[in-house]
Amino acid sequence: MGKATGFLEYERQDKRAEAPKERIRHFREFHEPLTRKEQQLQGARCMECGVPFCQAGVMIAGMASGCPLNNLVPEWNDLVYHGNWQEAYSRLKKTNNFPEFTSRVCPALCEKACTCNLNGDAVAVRSNEYAVIEYAYEAGYAAPKPPKSRTGKRVAVVGSGPSGLAAADQLNKRGHLVTVFERDDKAGGLLRYGIPNMKLEKHVIDRKVKVMEEEGVNFVYNCDVGKDKKAAEILKEYDRVILACGAKNPRDIKVPGRDAKGIYFAVDFLASTTKALWAAPEKGMTAEASELKAGNCIYAKGKRVMVIGGGDTGNDCCGTAMRHGAKSVLQVEMMPKPPEERLPSNPWPEWPKVSKTDYGQEEVAAVFGKDPRVYQTTVKQFVKDKNGNVCKAVLVKLESKKDEKTGRMVMAETAGSEYEVPVDLVLIAAGFLGCEEYVAKAFGVERNARTNVQTKEGEYATNVKHVYTAGDMHRGQSLVVWAIREGRDAARAVDYSLLGY
């Protein structure tokens, strides 16, 4: 695939990022795409390796190596190189319902498993994917294609995150009549209200949803199933139900002073910013940082912000706080700092457990002169002022020790290492614990010890007849690409149960 010697002739080139101090003035996506000719040369770098781990999606040492969707990466890299954009789009869509999302927000598991990455720079797969899908919209390849016939079978999908959207898209293409119920005012789930605009502008979601609507998918908004609409009604009206409500129980920090004002969950902070930037439906999504003001969102301007959690959501909080105009940003991470390069115990093609500086951390460093992260640290106490607002946090250093009872290594407090930091706004980005109880109870589906909806291993049918589940609600908090895979697999199970093949 690609050009046989392309990886030797051409250096990796990716989309160009706007300078940190410039991009924090707005909430728009800040990467400039390559020209089509430049992108074709990036396709040429795909080296026709004997075993393309990029598309394998296999679990190695407990981590995914390559794309969970089994995207036909070498095939469309070759087609990009030869300028056959229409066929590249066709091959891309064989496995991925939403390349417009994954080409923006996926951490590119394909690139980490790329053979070029073993002794050089990986093929710019995600950038190639972005070029293919955006050109497809421009050229009309991605226009609506309604199914030619209908089965008459009705399927309800509860939740419009990536798993719910993928399930709905697949089942609609098979000719079933699909209705998606969403409790928010717009589709997307965490794509819309968890991922900030600078990573995924919301008109990108709206563009795809419009295509799905024109293909026949029905969306019902502001409908909280289990509250506004009873589960019994859904089960009576539809032949099958897929629960794809996500894992939206945020993990809390239970320490003294937690009830202080000014402490929020990260998802609430990010969602409030996205909603504040929506001026009016007819105007579309505004994108300037100046659109924000006190009273229309959880506002970080002029505040000393502390983010608890070192993952992608914590980084998104850093970037969003910078766009608000935070006075300072500190990011607290419990685990030790990963190594700069792979250790011998973490060989390719395993997922690389190495240190990564993301866009939000880059922006904090550019403005304040240092990386915001402190490692092996946690919060021991929050301190309130006389008005009940958080004003300080007591932090403590951690060290790895063996638990005498279990024999496992745990992060334990280092005696005498406590210290105080001034804070005005605390954002908890410590992950999620599982699906919300009321939806599971409404349908009577069983949950496992992790509070995710229980199914047999590798299956999607719940203990309730005709009720299926997919996405984070099923597997726990995970990546968008895994959610799409779950939605596709759940749709396949539903389709088989309806048609027998």
CA distance 337 to 355: 7
Mean per-residue pLDDT, 348-355: 94
Rounded to an integer, the average pLDDT of 352-356 is 95
User: For residues 66 and 349, is the Cβ–Cβ distance under 8 A?
Assistant: yes
**10 Å Cβ neighbour count for 323?**
26
Convert the pLDDT of each residue in 75-107 to its tens digit: 999 999 999 999 999 999 999 999 999 999 999
Give the CATH H-level superfamily of domain 6-139. Answer: Alpha-helical ferredoxin (1.10.1060.10)
Please report which residue ranges of 325-358 form alpha helices under DSSP H.
none
Per-residue pLDDT band at 39 (split at 50, 70, 90): very high
Can you give the pLDDT at residue 404?
Answer: 83
Distance between CA atoms of residues 210 and 38, nearest Å: 31
Residue 1 pLDDT = 58
What is the reported pLDDT for 280?
44
The pLDDT-based confidence of 287 (bands split at 50, 70, 90) is low
Q: Work out the pLDDT band at 151, boundaries 50, 70, 90.
A: very high
Instruction: State the Cα torsion 384-290-276-365 to the nearest 10°.
Output: -60
pLDDT confidence tier of residue 50, bands split at 50, 70 and 90 = confident
**Among all chains, which residue has been given the structure tokens 């596709």?**
488
Report pLDDT for 48. Answer: 78
Instruction: State residue 500's pLDDT score.
Output: 95
The three-state DSSP-derived secondary structure of 432-486 is ECCCCHHHHHHHCCCECCCCCECCCCCCCECCCCCEEECCHHHHCCCCHHHHHHH
The pLDDT of residue 68 is 96
CB-CB neighbours of 147 under 10 Å: 13
pLDDT in tens, 365-419: 999 999 999 999 999 999 999 999 999 999 999 999 888 888 888 999 999 999 9
pLDDT level of residue 488 (50, 70, 90 thresholds): very high
Assigned CATH for 154-249+433-499: 3.50.50.60
Q: What is the mean pLDDT of residues 453-460?
A: 96
The CATH number of 263-428, from 3.90.1010.10, 3.40.50.261, 3.30.479.30, 3.50.50.60, is 3.50.50.60
pLDDT of res. 290: 76
Calculate what percentage of the chain has a pLDDT beyond 70. Answer: 98
Given a cut of 90, is residue 307 above it in pLDDT? yes
Cα 221 to Cα 48, 160, 194, 237, 480: the distances in Å are: 46, 10, 18, 17, 21
Residue 354 CA neighbour count, 13 Å, CB half: 13
Please report the pLDDT score of residue 282 as a whole number. Answer: 45
* Average pLDDT rounded to a whole number, residues 280-285: 47
Instruction: Please tell me the predicted confidence (pLDDT) of residue 281.
Output: 45
Query: Do the beta carbons of residue 99 and residue 165 sit within 8 Å?
Result: no
Going by pLDDT thresholds of 50, 70 and 90, the confidence category of residue 286 is low
* Average pLDDT score over the chain: 94
Assess whether pLDDT exceeds 90 at residue 180: yes
Position with higher pLDDT, 143 vs 63: 143
Preceding peptide of 144 cis, ω within 30°: no
Task: Let me know if the fold of 6-139 is the same as that of 154-249+433-499.
Answer: no
Q: Are 501 and 176 in contact (CB under 8 A)?
A: no
Closest CA to 215 of 161, 173, 156, 174: 173
Residue type, 265: F
- Per the DSSP assignment, residues forming a β-bridge with 461 are 468
d(CA 342, CA 347): 7
Contacts of 257 by beta carbon, 8 Å cutoff, 6+ apart: 381, 382, 383, 384, 390
Prediction pTM value: 0.95
The single-letter DSSP state of residue 50 is S
The full set of domain ranges for the chain reads 6-139, 154-249+433-499, 263-428
